[in-house]
Structure 1
């Protein structure tokens, strides 16, 4: 193979015009390789963790934020305990809901009956009844909660019920499994 002829002046000028101005390298000098970067520190995470410790110590204790009241749990005779376990774990999808807040006992009694009947007709088999925790009830305790418990235990179309998980209302609501039509 024959070496390529050296570029002429016109080619050199064309090359310089194409690459633009350049700065010559220093002779004999070497540039040091970049220093390795220090390992990353999760500073925001550490700040957040420190803030949580301080917040836990600084914030006043709010007893209303803790679950209050007895948990309601009932399983119809002859039904599998596994059904109740699954219900308490929240493994059923709630398809309808009624809120009894501000209702009187007679109105709530009628509303629960009509709600369950309508749910069965609509084939809604897992429902939530929000009865409240009775925090404004006097010495009698949670009136609507007791009423809900009594009414559901008497109905043949109720297979099981249990107090809701905290995210669904806790002891202020009950999840009910209904017998299909």
Structure 2
């Protein structure tokens, strides 16, 4: 049978008194609307002032190396041919560039595809060598600018760029002494003078 709590002893009362002295009373005034709490009476804190940081003005890329060379784009075919050393007689070369030498034979590749033009050019040059001709004219045309809309760009004037490569490749390389862009009266940028070596 449970024992009824009796009266507190003197020791219990002394202990309880110590407990109540060490505790803090809860704020019961916060429940009343007319009561002012300590937080409302206190002034709002000001935000701390941040230190001022000075940034020097700059532009993106101002320290980049400005002495870089421009992109090395492939030179045009006319520039490449003009940059070749003169292998033939200089006087004859000067006359040829001014259009004073008449070609002994000519071929017109204008309008042909690469597959058609390559064997025709080979046959023409080898035939000129067999007949001991020195100066021949190869007409390529300037080419039309056409864009098929594909991912790979199409070079402007395909034959004009391809013919010098063929002339500098076997079996024609051993017979060709000089290649030069034709004078205006012989086709200008749309034709080449091909000066052949003497038959041995």
Gaps of 5+ in 2: 1-75, 148-153
CA distance in structure 2 between the aligned counterparts of 1:146 and 1:158, rounded to whole angstroms = 17
In the alignment, is the contact (CA less than 8 A) between 2:88 and 2:178 conserved in 1?
A: no
Query: 1:151 maps to which residue?
Result: 166
CA distance in 1: counterparts of 2:127 and 2:146, whole angstroms: 29
Structure of higher RCO (CA pairs closer than 8 Å, 6+ residues apart): 1
More helix by share: 1
Question: Superposition pairs for residues 1-181 of structure 1, below 5 Å?
Answer: 71=78, 73=81, 79-80=87-88, 82=90, 83-138=92-147, 139-154=154-169, 155-181=173-199
Shift of the alpha carbon at 1:104?
Answer: 1.1
> Whose Rg is larger?
2
Q: Deviations over 1:138-165 (max 9, x none)?
A: 4411100111111112312111011111
Q: How many residues align?
A: 113
Q: Secondary structure at the match of 2:168?
A: helix
Aligned partner of residue 140 in structure 1, secondary structure: coil
Report the CA distance between 1:79 and its aligned residue: 2.1
Distance of 1:158 and 1:135 partners within structure 2: 28
TM-score (norm 2): 0.50
